[in-house]
Amino acid sequence: MPTDLYTPTPADKFTFGLWTVGNPGRDPFGEPTRSPLTPAEIVDAIGVAGGAYGVNFHDNDLIPIDASEAEADAIKKDFRKALRRNKLKVPMATTNLFTDPVFKDGAFTSNDAEVRAYAIHKTMKSMQLGAEFGAKIYVMWGGREGTESDATKDPVLACKRFREAVNFLCKYNKDQGFGYKFALEAKPNEPRGHIYFAVTGSYLAFIETLDHPEMVGVNPEFAHENMAGLNFVHHVAQAIDAKKLFHIDLNDQVMCRYDQDFRFGSNSYKQSFFLTKLLIDTKYKGCKHFDSHAYRQSDAKDVIEFAKGSMRSYKVLEAKAHKFNNDKAIQKLLNVINRENSKLQTMTKKFTKKSMKDLLAYDFDRKAMAAKPLPYEELDQLTFDLLMGVR
Ligand code: GLT
Ligand code: MN
Ligand code: MN
């Protein structure tokens, strides 16, 4: 039973990755600061944090790339037991197509046909592994799909090759009856200088060119649009409008910096609030995956605080969103701003010969229209007061 409004429960559908809570604190300049944990130990740590719904993995987070079959079986057995003891599910799985040197120049978009085929083969095996644990969302993040110099790859061919791979894997999904929905995750850069399909919108357009667009959606990540200095909330809104928000990665990130993967809510209070409000207002039902890691300074105990804090921040912002939606002064201002006009709305809703003529003949009073008040300063200040807890 939740002890207060901010205590998470599995109904919130919060998830973590083996690679997030298990992150050992390595960065490009320094060695790990925390001891490595086994998959079962990571599941136990998520269990200690309490209230999560599930744990996601890349194939090689669970089974090392060179493991023997016997080793793989032993790991799976321990992992399954840990899931059971902590009452956690595996809702999402994905493939590591970025760590091994074979993927140094990409996976599905590599210039080498053998690497491209191996990437599809590895994804097929990884889909089998995810299915063994009941995953129904399959994330594809093409971290190595890109270039440092465009002398090296044909970008149009890269799109075609990526499409070929996704089409193949959709057919495989159908053939095997896995029942996955794929969720494509965009990122502008890191680890490549430039990654193809840099933002969520790039994938939304790409999906419509696939053989099975209904099987494919997006997995936007807060930090990724933020790295490019873009408004994440708007990208998620477009995905929702397209009915393509299959999964979401929550974390935080100072705009235009290196890939920080901070704890959700730790930096961008206002954007995190509007994102949470968007997910609530549009009744998003999917998992909310915290794709982040604890600060490099944190020890194992502080990692638990990181996991708890991620969920708590969402719950706090969720309560604030409800407060915003029930705040009389705020709602009054929103009603002033959103001006309905049923006559004009009917006219512009659908093009007909009549609506065309009526609209062309309509006499607009431009000056009066421009003079209508838009008290946005007042509204934004009320939002600030609400977020800061003085309202
Ligand atoms: C990696 C990346 C994430 C992706 C993960 C899925 S792996 O941690 O930074 O954004 O979601 O492959
Ligand atoms: Mn990231
Ligand atoms: Mn991510």
The token pair at 7 is 């205590």
CATH superfamily of the domain spanning 7-326? Divalent-metal-dependent TIM barrel enzymes (3.20.20.150)
Report the alpha-carbon distance of residue 150 to residue 137 in Å, rounded: 33
How confident is the model at residue 68, as a pLDDT?
Answer: 98
Quick check: CB of 138 below 6 Å from ligand 1? no
Is the pLDDT at 263 greater than 80? The verdict is: yes
Q: Which of 12, 58, 247, 289 is catalytic?
A: 58
CA of 80 to the centre of ligand 3 (A): 24
How large a percentage of the chain has pLDDT more than 70?
Answer: 99
pTM: 0.97
* Predicted pLDDT of residue 2: 61
Told to judge if 58 belongs to the known catalytic residues of this protein, a careful annotator would answer: yes
pLDDT at 374 over 70: yes
Å from CA of 48 to ligand 3 middle:
23
Annotation marks residue 194 as catalytic? no
The greatest distance separating any two alpha carbons of the chain, rounded to the nearest whole angstrom, comes to 79
pLDDT, average across residues 350-379: 97
pLDDT score recorded for residue 166: 99
CB within 8 A of 63, min separation 6: which ones?
A: 71, 72, 75, 76, 129
Who contacts 194 (Cβ-Cβ below 8 Å, separation ≥6)? Answer: 146, 147, 148, 150, 188
- Tens digits of per-residue pLDDT, 104-122? 999 999 999 999 999 999 9
pLDDT in tens, 145-182: 999 999 999 999 999 999 999 999 999 999 999 999 99
Q: What amino acid is encoded at 138 in this protein? A: Y
Position 265 scores a pLDDT of: 98
Q: What is the pLDDT of residues 28-51, one digit of tens each?
A: 999 999 999 999 999 999 999 999
Q: Is 94 touching ligand 1 by the criterion CB < 6 Å?
A: yes
**Reported confidence tier of residue 1, pLDDT bands at 50, 70, 90:** low
Start-end ranges of CATH 3.20.20.150 in the chain?
7-326
